[in-house]
Amino acid sequence: MHVHFPAKALQYLHYLGIVHRDVKPANILLDRQLQPHLADFGLAEYKKNLKLVSTVNWKSTGKPTGGFHKRNMVGTLIYMAPEVLTKEIHTEKSDVYSFGITVNELLTGIVPYTDLRAETQAHTVLEMNYTEQQLTAAVVSEGLRPVLAELQSSAPASLVSLIERCWDKDPQNRPSFDDIVVELDFILEHEIGRGCMEKASGEAFISSNGVDAANFQSYQENISWFSQGKDFLKRVPTALAASTWLDSSDDHIYSPVLSWGSFASCGRRETMEDRHFLMPQLCDEKDIHIFAIFDGHRGSAAAEFSSGALPGFLQNLGSVCSPSDALFEAFIKTDVAFRTQLDSSRKCKGAVQKDWHPGCTAIAALIVRNKLIVANAGDCRTILCRSGIPYALSRDHVASCLEERERIIHAGGLVKWQVDTWRVGDAALQVTRSIGDDDLKPAVTAEPEITSTTLSAEDEYIVMASDGLWDVVSEKDVVNIIRDTVKEAGMCSKRLATEAAERGSKDNITVIVIFLRPVSTAERIY
């Protein structure tokens, strides 16, 4: 049970006399083994120091100023304890409250005080019907709490009870983390463990009743296409020397200071077909970074495969190409490799669905010192914000574009008007470039368009996103939203995705935000 480890971390912090003051899901990070770790101690403070600046000590000099509250009433509104919302100082029991809210959110997948799933919600409460003042009043005076886990999940009753005690209005009634860890140990050993055994027994029962497991497998079985992509690269000769892209004579040129974050949501779709990766310091070169989004259609296989294969192809091409050429070749080779693997899987598994031809649009941004190279095939999009103004670094490859329609027809493809727009082939694909879509090759090419930009001190950030964002949020809106959001890349990504969901986006939504210079990450508070 993943929440057990953050609980132990908070137990240790409190043993040291430290209050975290910002416990929330965004500050619980997973390592490569998917083990959780408590993170972001930017607001943490020793309890003894908090007592020295308490409101009690200010009584002799009158009411504390707004500046006092801004320095000490920190955190994220929807996870803040009632006593903190009434402008009292954080204590260990305030962390307990935030922990309870966090565990409940992790179990239900629902952001506190909303009825939408976590993946479509933002860091703030600005999109909700409550104003910040109304939400604060409801939490403090009316005892408002999030939808409890027992209504949304199969969580053990004892864990649900623990959550409720953690978010009790009276801090004295909340358990300490010593008590929480003991209870979680018991739940993990007796209830979660028993549940796993019952599930295993159920699976054994199905098998013992003569059901052939192979009959459950179809062509759409859970093949790990991401692993297939990475494994394929093991058979590709390596020529890794991306450092050749770095010219030693450029040591004194402008070099951006990067910070990045992403957020992905299935949006209003039932399944998530987008994939993305963030790969700073490509090939261990601190001045080479790559970020990419793959927007799957007709299944997620192409997007999964590409997210595993494209970085490797790019590295393997490092010694023989310029960065632009490397990106171009990486797209082409990833497409060929995926279609080869797909054909091989069909032959091995049997083509249960003869018309299943997955594909994905793709966009990648390669940063080499002060050079930004963007490769795009499809309708994902990248913009650069320079001095507060958005500049498009890619164009959408869709059949409604006359130039793309003519290219498709010249390549022997069919374009026709269907219902509301131009579409390609019998598959009625709206995009005209993609990885995969083998039934529409060569007209639907994987060849990307490349743009190259020299970055300068005027450049603020890059936003990359799938069409789930761009369908409903304009480039100008993106700049305005980031302007009004805490300047932390992950928060900005989440806020943009939430805005798209709130505006009615009907597609998967993936957003990457890359800041190009140092920014303040102070929380937005009263």
HSE-up of residue 100 (Cα within 13 Å, Cβ side):
30
Given a contact cutoff of 8 angstroms between Cβ atoms, the answer to whether 297 and 359 are in contact is yes
Report the sign of the C-alpha dihedral through residues 112, 113, 116, 122, in that order: negative
DSSP output for 434-487: -EE-GGGTTTSB-PPEEEEEE--TTEEEEEEE-HHHHTTS-HHHHHHHHHTS-S
DSSP helix/strand/coil, 17: coil
Q: List, in sequence order, every beta strand (DSSP E) within 10-162.
A: 18-19, 28-30, 36-38, 45-46
Distance between CA atoms of residues 160 and 108, nearest Å: 11
CA dihedral 372, 282, 39, 143 (to 10 degrees): 50
Residue ranges of alpha helices (H) inside 143-220 are: 157-166, 177-186, 193-208
Burial class of residue 525, CB neighbours in 10 A (0-12, 13-18, 19+): middle
Whether the link from the prior residue into 112 is cis, omega within 30° of 0, is no
Q: Which residue has the tokens 């994902």?
A: 380
DSSP helix/strand/coil, 377: strand
Active-site residue, selected from the candidate residues 22, 287, 379, 437: 22
Distance between CA atoms of residues 167 and 19, nearest Å: 17
Distance between CA atoms of residues 75 and 19, nearest Å: 12
Of residues 38, 114, 116, the one with CA closest to residue 77: 114
22 is catalytic: yes
Beta-bridge partners for 117: 110
Q: Which residue has the tokens 């601190």?
A: 286
In this structure, how many other beta carbons lie within 10 angstroms of the beta carbon of residue 437? 27
SS (H, E, C) 50-70: HHHCCHHHHHHHCCCCHHHHH
Position 354, amino acid: K
Of residues 324, 315, 322, 253, the one with CA closest to residue 285: 315
Catalytic residues: 22
